Structure formats: structure tokens, C-alpha cells
Amino acid sequence: MATFKATSRKDTVLSRNEIEALIADGRKIVIVDNKVLKTDAWLPYHPGGDKAILHMVGRDATNEVRAFHSAETQDLMQKYQIGRIEGQWRDFVPPIQYGVFRTREQQAEERSETERQQIEDGADSSENDTSEAPSPLFDPAERPESHLRKRRGSNGAASESSATSFSDLELEASPIQKDKAHGDDRTEQELKRDLELYPSLDQATQADIISKYRQLDTRLRDAGLYECNYSAYFIESLRYTALGLTSYLFLQNGHYLLSAAFLGAMWHQLVFTVHDAGHMGITHNFHIDSCIGIFIANFLGGLSCCWWKRNHNVHHIVTNSAEHDPDIQHMPFFAISHRFFSSLKSTYYDRVMTYDPVAKFMLKYQHLMYYPLLTFGRFNLYVLSWTYIFGLQGPRKGPAWWHRYLEIAGQLFFWYWYAYLTVYQSIPSGWSRFGFVMISNMIAMPVHVQITLSHFAMSTADLGVAESFPQRMLRTTMDVDCPWWLDFFHGGLQFQAVHHLFPRLPRHNLRAAQKLVMECCQEVKIPYVIYGFAEGNGKVIGHLGEVAKQARIMAECQRGMSAKDVFEAH
């Protein structure tokens, strides 16, 4: 009998209104393969962090789940199934992204109000026997908004509210609409540009893109590109060992700055393997790859692999979103969009990124400070790692509960061999120690350039939940072209567009996969952005310079307004 009840419960078809009401009551509902999953119980234990799940609430997460999880993990998700849906699901805007949801009571009140209004107008209520209003993205509703506004209407409030309440809620909830309300036309221009450059957001077009994307995934699997090239990792290990031994030999012979340079070069190379392990791209086993990542990142590099996974998973899901993507939230030092001028709130860090006097000064020169500031990037990663580990941000129960303790052991080991045995015991003078610390940490700067290079010059416009996962990844990410013999230096990060589409694909197979991805992009008419390394750097510097120019213009306008107010006051 218990089995029958469980089976029948999972087979229950849940309506859109029922799912909306559950989310309004605080339930974390996610759709995967037409199955309705209630993830509340799993949220605190998710190894990839709670924020990654929160950005999927109310949405069809099938593509994201398949991209990030093994088949075994996907099977485990079935225990959280509470029902299923019929037909093609149209995404809600998740609560973390300021989506608004109606409870059962609110839905009943809206139905009653609609029926009352229809009776007063003499209309037949049977003609509109549904609480679901026309979608601002897909349905030809008569509204005063422009065509552009209809296409991005799901960016703010729940897209299924009534026509009148939708406009009001959207203006209140959507950061983009706030910019529009204050006369900011630049956001409008960026949206128009993307809507003209990329395929239509209509349901049929995006469904076709998803279908082609899944077919491409099958082609990659059939070609064996998901299989790790372990001979390539053998060569990698020889390179790491050579760099480490060379650093040690220079240290023992008193060539401290050269030793620091080779140690930094080793860290630079090791980051790429941690990235592979964090995506389960080496053995495809969660615990084995996690241990590989923790050993390299914490024991050898002093950084938290688990912090990186929590941060990086969110980046992959909401790539280049000003409010949500932590990888582009570098205030007060960098802003890749004018929208940071409005002191946005980061949903990842749960704080306002204030456009304060420091930011106003720094952003005016960000294109000049790009490379100098990135040389200090590793020091920032230390702080973020400590905050994660000792701030208890990771899961304390579930399959990854013990990872935190392994990371603590790794941190103690790293600072013992690096800070005490190497810097303090092996280097005699204060200035030599200072130089060793600075060079060893700053020499890994190209990694930070590589990471920002793939996103800083790309679109930050939000086209709403109607945009499919593959189109969003290709619109916000670019590849860097380089000869095959330089792949070791870029570590696979030059294939960011391919990687964002298929994050668990081993990096040594990304070059082969790129050709197939390009073919798919031509078929679905999505621009595939790829630049040479120098050209890509020029694009980033140019984009940062453009935002810096906007910051200077805004500062001049504010000074002008202040002077005018003072003059009028007298």
C-alpha cells in the first residue's frame, strides 16, 4: 500500500497554479524532465551550494541538471519528486531573482475579481475560464507596452499574473525596468541589440535550440569526448613536478625570486586541474574528483576548492547577470555594466554593491587598472576561501559534510609548508620574504586575465526566463583562439563557450568539441564569438574603458547638478 501511495503521489499532475502556490508558500520547486521536485530538504546539503538551486526555483532545470550532474546523482533526485507536469513548461522568475508568486488565496481572490468584473461588463466568464493570463512573452495580448517590453516581460514579476498587475509588479520588481523608469536608455539599447542579434525568444525557436543542443550532447558522448584523456594528465603531472622541483632547487641555492616565480607558475598550472576536478571532469566520481580538487587547491595552493564550486556553479547558471553572477561582481574596482552605478544588490553575497566615492573614483580608471589589480587576485581568493571555510558556508550534513574538515586540514598544511617552512625558515631577510610572497602570488595573474577575458566584454543584458540555457551561455561567453601548442598555458579556459555548454567535458577534449559546437551554432543561427588572445584583451579593455567613460560623464553631471542646486539656493 505504501508503495502504491508513493507511486500515485509522484504521478499526480500538478497545475501551474498549484506549483505557483507552493513556491509562494516558500517551497523550493524545480522542474526536471517534466517531474516536479521539492528540493527543500536537500537545499542545506547540496555540495554545489544552495544558491545554485535557488536560481532554478520555478524553472525547468533539465538542461542545467544534465550538464552539471552525473546519471547517478540525477537518479537520486527522484526521491524528491512530488508530482509531474504535462506539456511544455514556461518558466517562472525565481524568488531570488525577484519573481512574485501568488498563494492559493490570492489566486482565488483574483479569479473572483475577474468573474465579478466580467459579470459587470456583461461578458461570458466561460470564455476565460482560467486564472492564467496571456504570457507577456508568447501570447498576443493587447497591452500598452512596446513589443520589446513584451519580449522581456518575464524578467521581473511572475509572468502569469494578470495584465494590469504584471506591469505594476514588473516595474517594482525588475532592476532593468527600474533603470528604464529613471530614463536610462542604455539598458534599452543593449536589449535591442541582443534581441536583433540572437534568435527569437518565442517558444518554438527556443525549443528547437534546446533540441539541437541535446542532440549535440549525444554526438559528443558517442564520439567519446566525455572520456578523460589520462595520458594528457600524466604529462600534466610531469610539468607540475618539474616546476615544483625547480622552485625548490632555486630556493635551496638562495635564488629566492626565481624560486617564487616557478612556484607561482606551478600554482598557475594547478588551477586548471582543480577546475577539472570541480566539474567532475577527471574520474567523473564526485568524491574522488572532490578529493583531487581539495588536495591540490588547499594542500598545495591554500585555496578552497569547495568555495570555488559554490561560487562557480552560480556563475554557470546566471552567467554575466549583474545582480546574480559573483564572477562579475568586483565593486568598487571593476564594473562591466553601467547598471552597477545604481548600487545593485548582489543576491550571491547578500549585500548592496554600493556605488560609493571609492567606486566612483576607481571605476573612472578601471581600464588602466585592469592588469595591475588582477596581479593581486590571488590574495582576494585567500580571503574568500577563509570566509567560506571558517564562516560555515558549506554543507555540514549530506554527502559532502566531511569536505570542510579536509579543507581545514589542507589550509593548516599549506600555511605550515608555505608560510613557515618556506617563507620564514628558508628565506633570511625581510625584503626577500616580501618579494617571494608577492612574486609567487602575482605570477599566477594570467589565470585571472583568462577568466575575466571570456566574460567581461560579453553581454550583461537580461533577456528573461524565455531564453534557453544554450543560447544564454553562448550570448554571455566567448572563446579565445590560440594554437594547439599553447593549450597548456590557457588550461582549457580558452574554450569557455564550449565549457559553459558542457561543463563536465574534460578540458583536453574541448578543442575537438569546439568544431561540433560551431556547426551547431551555424545551424541554429546563434553567433559564436571567438577572438585571438590579443584581440580579446583589446575588447575587454575597450569595454572597461567605455564603462569608465560613462562613470566620468555621470560624475560630471552630478557635479553640474550640485553646482546648479547651490547656485539656485542663493
Q: Mean per-residue pLDDT for 493-504?
A: 96
Residue 123: its pLDDT value, please? 55
Is residue 35 classed as helix, strand or coil in its secondary structure? strand
What are 37's strand-pairing partners?
A: 30, 81
pLDDT exceeds cutoff 70 at 11 = yes
Residue 398: its pLDDT value, please? 80
Is residue 82 classed as helix, strand or coil in its secondary structure? strand
Going by the DSSP 8-state scheme, the letter that residue 141 receives in this structure is: -
Phi, psi of 190 (to 5 degrees): -65, -40
The alpha carbons of the chain give a radius of gyration, in whole angstroms, of: 26
Pick 16-97's CATH classification: 1.10.357.10, 2.60.40.1180, 3.10.120.10, 3.30.470.10.
3.10.120.10
Q: Residue 34 — pLDDT band, cuts 50, 70, 90?
A: very high
- Cis omega (within 30 of 0) for bond into 95: no
Let me know if 311 is exposed, middle or buried by CB neighbors in 10 A (0-12, 13-18, 19+): buried
Q: Which residue has the higher pLDDT, 176 or 367?
A: 367
- Going from N- to C-terminal start, the domains of the chain cover 16-97, 229-462
Which three cell numbers, joined as nine digits, stand for 371? Answer: 592588469
Residue 397: its pLDDT value, please? 80
Q: Mean per-residue pLDDT for 317-330?
A: 94
Q: Mean per-residue pLDDT for 366-384?
A: 95
Q: Residue 229 — pLDDT band, cuts 50, 70, 90?
A: very high
> Residues 456-485: pLDDT tens digits?
999 999 999 999 999 999 999 999 999 999
Is residue 415 classed as helix, strand or coil in its secondary structure? helix
467: left (phi over 0), alpha (psi -120 to 50) or beta: beta
Buried b (16+ CB within 10 A) or exposed e, 383-418: eebeebbeeebbbeeeebeebbebbeebbeebeeeb
Q: Which of 429, 441, 317, 318 is nearest to 378 (CA)?
A: 441
Let me know if 263 is exposed, middle or buried by CB neighbors in 10 A (0-12, 13-18, 19+): buried
Is residue 76 classed as helix, strand or coil in its secondary structure? helix
Residues 6+ apart with CB under 8 A from 249: 259
Residues 6+ apart with CB under 8 A from 129: none
Residue 7: its pLDDT value, please? 53
pLDDT exceeds cutoff 50 at 183 = no
> Residues 518-568: pLDDT tens digits?
999 999 999 999 999 999 999 999 999 999 999 888 878 777 666 555 445
Judge whether 14 and 83 are in contact, CB under 8 Å.
yes
Residue 556: its pLDDT value, please? 80
> Residues 110-122: pLDDT tens digits?
888 888 887 777 6
Judge whether 203 and 467 are in contact, CB under 8 Å.
no
Which three cell numbers, joined as nine digits, stand for 106? Answer: 490570492
Which three cell numbers, joined as nine digits, stand for 62? Answer: 533539465
pTM for this structure?
Answer: 0.85
> Residues 47-82: pLDDT tens digits?
888 999 999 999 999 999 999 988 888 888 889 999
Going by the DSSP 8-state scheme, the letter that residue 347 receives in this structure is: T
Percent of the chain whose pLDDT exceeds 90: 72
Give the number of other Cβ atoms within 10 Å of residue 231's Cβ: 9
Positive or negative CA dihedral for 474, 476, 482, 487? negative
Give the span between the Cα atoms of 429 and 442, in whole angstroms. 20
Residue 122: its pLDDT value, please? 67
Q: At what angle do helices 305-317 and 377-390 cross, to 10 degrees?
A: 100
Q: Which residue has the higher pLDDT, 71 or 333?
A: 333
Q: 95-104, 171-180, 216-225, 347-356 — which is least confidently predicted?
A: 171-180
Is residue 366 classed as helix, strand or coil in its secondary structure? helix
Phi, psi of 37 (to 5 degrees): -110, 130
